[in-house]
Amino acid sequence: MIPYRAYAKVNIFLKITGKRDEYHTISSRFMRVSHLYDTLWFEPKSTPEFEIHGNFDCDVASNTIYKAYKYLQSATHSSKLSAFFENHAVCVEKNIPSFAGLGGGSSDAATFLHMCNDELDLGLNIQELSKIGENVGADVPFFIYGYESANVRGIGEIVEKFDEQPLLFEISTPKLQISTPAVYNYYRKHLYAPISPQEAAQLEQTPSIEMLMTMNPKAANDLYPAALECYDELSEKEGWFFSGSGSSFYRLKELNNG
């Protein structure tokens, strides 16, 4: 089979709009990072257990790909799916850093769902795949839809394509694994200040290039100040924006490298 690419993302802005049970609702612009991606493929194996081959820092049961498999199995009850993974392993060439705010695990899960749907003719449409992906993680629907740029709302389940020119980014990831729940918990306890629907709507209509030229990085991402407070090892990088709950920073490549 032809390998599939699971692209990274950055958050151009990420603002909290409220709470839904134990979750925070967001308004955010996700943009694909075209030069940074994991590569996934299937290959034959001899043991019946579900296998993931790749450089992961978690066990199989905790891997987003395995979670996607279990939710896909539950949604489809496909005997073809079960039989296939008794004889095939999932192989991943990891390039996206983990715990870095770049969506690597979510992108892997979304790509895996597309691969299963395509290779096994499961017949699921994009909305059905997205619904399955929601169970795996909040960022998975964005990667299911495959847009280069999109506004993402709710707890990640509402994804609307945003028509604009893709941008080229330079990425810098400190050697620091950040816990997204820890950052959100700090934000909720100490910094909680959701924006209004009107403010969210205005941000969602603004081109990404304009935001990156005019917004302060701390103002662009509500989780950035929380991450700085949570992790003493995390330092600000002047002129760089912060993606998700971190730890990755990014900036426009063409502004700095010509």
Query: Is 57 considered catalytic here?
Result: no
From the list 15, 67, 108, 139, the catalytic residue is 139
User: Considering just the CA atoms, what is the radius of gyration of the chain in Å?
Assistant: 18
Tokens of 44: 């034959």
From the list 9, 38, 67, 222, the catalytic residue is 9
DSSP 197-253: HHHHHHHHTS-HHHHHHH--HHHHBTHHHHHHHH-TT----TT-EE-TTSS-EEEEH
Bridge-partner residues for 26, per DSSP? 16, 154
Distances (CA, A) of 83 to 87, 88, 121: 7, 9, 14
112: nearest Cα among 69, 48, 49, 156:
69
Query: Is 38 considered catalytic here?
Result: no
**Residues classed as catalytic:** 9, 139
